[in-house]
Structure formats: structure tokens, C-alpha cells
């Protein structure tokens, strides 16, 4: 079985991806890395690693004979607008370090996610095609477009098998996201279950693609398992599960928790970011090339979140 290294292992996607990969390849075959320690559970291997520290990164990859890297360390959209230089450094230099360490160490596969943020105000917002105008005007999106291109460059020119999807907003109940524009969806569940009112920082009718975490993990693993001969693209596959507006989610939660009160007060920075992202992506390329199909729609996601989140509320 291959040894896998995960960066950003303490983050929203990383923490759950580590568990999923441990189940697939065994606990001792997954090396979790982050600058923030991971709550250590039965045998999890954790190494403190700043993705900007290329030397240490390369040492770890060599020491553990790493065969696959899942690169989840990144600064999300709203946090990136507050500190664009830091976001550029982590998102770009971190990604370049991952790709280049993979090249020099002969790592067989690399996963680097992109995002709906890789689109911008001049992109067609409905049924956003796989290949279209990408002129994002927020720094996070700028780093995501550059990361997509860098991934393709390493595939074509350096022979590194780098793969990735454009994730929509991810909804999950185990680890809070931090500094994203789509975080409101999780905040709404947390407030509703705590019997607190919630004021959403996006306008009620802001439509964005979203996905429940189990589908996000499946997308990643299914793409990494795909036979490379069936892939026309490698990086930046559009993937989506359902389209959500804050008003639609509040109403869906109120069906189960009728006392939930949601108000709306747009934050100009996050509203501008959300307005520049697609209302709905076309994910046909992912469906055709590697069989992508989401399992959770809005209703089944809401039901599962309301069942699972109460046991983890203290983490939020």
C-alpha cells in the first residue's frame, strides 16, 4: 500500500480526508502535516510542517517514501482578502513546493484542489462551463487560477501526475472552516442547533454551488483512483452537488427547527466575492471522464447535518 502525505491536515477538508485515507490504506500509511496540531487519535502520524519550508517538506517525503500527496493547506477567500501577501505566499509558494518536491522525489500522484473562486465577474455565472473566462478579482481566486495552471504545467512539462477539482462550498460537521465566503452555511446550522438567531453576511438570494463533505471526499478519491488514460483534463474539474442560497438553506433548516430565526446583513467584502462566483457550475467533464456523481442533495444533506452536528457542536 502506498504512503500518503496530507498537507493542511488540521483543516476542514484535511481532517476528514485523513480519516478516509487511513481507512483505505491503514493508519501507519498516512502522514498528516499542518502548522496547527491535529487532535491525535489512535496512532495517527502527525508532523508539524509549514508548506513554505521546502527543505523540511522534501525531507519528510524522502523519509517516509511518500507516493501520493494531498495538498489541502491554503488560506481561504475572506481571510486572503485581509492578508493578500500571506495568501499569495501560502497558496502559491506552498503549491509550487508541493509540485516541485513531487517532481524531485518521484511522487507518483498529487491532488491539489482548486475552487469556484477560480472564476470571476466576467465568467458566465449560470452553468459555468469547464473551460471559460477566468478573471477572478479576489486574491484567493487569483492564486487558485495560477495553481490550476501550475498543476497543468507540471503534468505537461515535468511529468508529475497532478490532479484536482474545483470545489464548491463544502458543508461539514467535524471541523470548522476558517475564513471562507461559503462558511455561512455551516454557521447557520450551528446557530439553529444552539437555538440562537443568525445574521447572514450574504444577501438571501446569493446562489452558490455547494457540496456535503462525504461527496467532497469521494470526488477527491475517485479522481485519484481514475485511470489516467480516461482523463482529458487533469486539474480543475468543475464538481458540484446542489445550488444554495442563504434563504433556501434557512427555510430548509426551519422545516426541522421552526423557531430558527435568520436575518441578513451583507458584508461588502464577502458579498462581492460571492457575487463574482458562479451561481451553478457545469460538471459534465468530471461526470464523463471519471464518473463523478454526487450522492447528497440539499434535503439529504440537511437531514444528515442535523443528525450528526449535535454531537460535535462544542468544536464550533
> Where along the sequence are the contacts to ligand SER (CB under 6 A)?
76-77, 115-117, 140, 167, 169, 180-182
Instruction: Reduce the DSSP state of residue 109 to 3 states and report it.
Output: strand
How far apart are CB 79 and ligand SER at their closest, in Å? Answer: 8
Shortest distance in whole angstroms from residue 140 CB to ligand SER: 6
What SS3 state is found at 56?
Answer: helix
Cβ 262 to ligand SER shortest distance, Å? 19
256 is catalytic: no
Pairing, β 45-48 against β 30-34: parallel
| C-alpha cell, 152 | 497543468
Residues 6+ apart with CB under 8 A from 85: none
Number of H helices, E strands in the chain: 12, 14
- Give Cβ neighbours of residue 149 (< 8 Å, ≥ 6 apart): none
Nearer CB in complex with ligand SER: 33/115: 115
Q: How far apart are CA 185 and CA 248, in angstroms?
A: 10
Contact 103, 96 (CB under 8 A): no
Question: What separation in angstroms does the CA of 282 have from each of 128, 171, 217?
Answer: 5, 20, 19
Q: How far is CA 19 from the centre of its chain?
A: 16
Residue whose CB is less far from ligand SER, 69 or 202: 202
- Beta bridge mates, 259: none
Catalytic residue among 70, 140, 167, 198: 140
Residue with smaller CB distance to ligand SER, 102 or 216: 216
CA distance 79 to 244: 22
Cell of 18: 485523513
Q: Which residue is nearest to ligand SER (CB)?
A: 180
Least distance from ligand SER to the Cβ atom of residue 284, Å: 21
Nearer to ligand SER, 29 or 91 (CB): 91
CB of 55 to ligand SER, least distance (A): 29
Nearer to ligand SER among residue 160 and residue 171 (C-beta): 171
Using the minimum distance from each CB to ligand SER, give the nearer residue, 14 or 180: 180
CB of 272 vs ligand SER, minimal distance in Å? 13
Cell numbers for 123, please give them.
465568467
Contact 166, 239 (CB under 8 A): yes
| Active site residue ranges | 140
Amino acid at each position: 500500500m502506498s504512503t500518503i502525505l496530507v498537507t493542511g491536515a488540521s483543516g476542514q477538508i484535511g481532517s476528514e480526508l485523513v480519516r478516509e485515507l487511513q481507512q483505505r490504506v491503514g493508519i501507519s500509511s498516512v502522514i498528516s502535516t499542518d502548522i496547527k496540531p491535529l487532535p491525535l487519535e489512535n496512532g495517527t502520524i502527525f508532523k508539524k510542517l509549514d508548506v513554505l519550508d521546502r527543505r523540511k517538506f522534501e525531507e519528510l517525503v524522502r523519509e517516509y517514501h511518500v507516493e501520493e500527496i494531498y495538498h489541502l493547506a491554503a488560506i481561504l477567500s475572506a481571510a486572503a482578502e485581509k492578508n493578500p501577501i500571506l495568501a499569495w505566499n501560502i497558496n502559491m509558494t506552498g503549491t509550487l513546493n508541493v509540485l516541485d518536491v513531487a517532481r524531485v522525489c518521484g511522487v507518483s500522484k498529487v491532488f491539489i484542489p482548486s475552487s469556484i473562486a477560480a472564476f470571476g465577474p466576467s465568467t458566465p455565472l449560470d452553468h459555468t462551463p469547464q473551460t471559460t473566462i477566468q478573471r477572478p478579482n479576489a486574491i484567493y481566486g487569483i492564486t487558485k487560477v495560477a495553481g490550476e495552471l501550475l498543476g497543468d504545467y507540471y503534468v505537461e512539462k515535468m511529468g508529475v501526475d497532478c490532479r484536482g477539482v474545483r470545489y464548491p462550498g463544502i458543508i461539514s460537521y467535524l471541523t470548522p472552516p476558517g475564513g471562507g465566503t461559503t462558511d455561512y452555511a455551516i454557521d447557520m446550522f450551528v446557530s439553529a442547533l444552539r437555538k440562537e438567531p443568525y445574521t447572514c453576511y450574504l444577501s438571501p438570494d446569493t446562489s452558490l454551488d455547494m457540496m456535503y463533505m462525504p461527496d467532497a471526499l469521494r470526488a477527491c478519491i475517485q479522481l485519484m483512483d481514475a485511470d489516467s488514460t480516461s482523463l482529458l483534463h487533469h486539474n480543475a474539474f468543475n464538481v458540484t452537488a446542489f445550488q444554495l442560497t442563504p434563504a433556501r438553506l434557512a427555510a430548509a433548516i426551519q422545516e426541522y427547527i421552526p423557531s430558527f430565526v435568520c436575518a441578513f446583513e451583507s458584508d461588502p467584502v464577502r458579498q462581492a466575492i460571492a457575487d463574482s462566483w458562479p451561481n451553478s457550475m457545469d460538471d459534465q467533464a468530471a461526470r464523463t471522464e471519471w464518473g463523478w456523481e454526487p450522492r447528497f442533495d440539499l434535503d439529504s444533506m440537511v437531514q444528515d447535518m442535523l443528525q450528526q452536528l449535535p454531537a460535535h457542536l462544542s468544536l464550533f
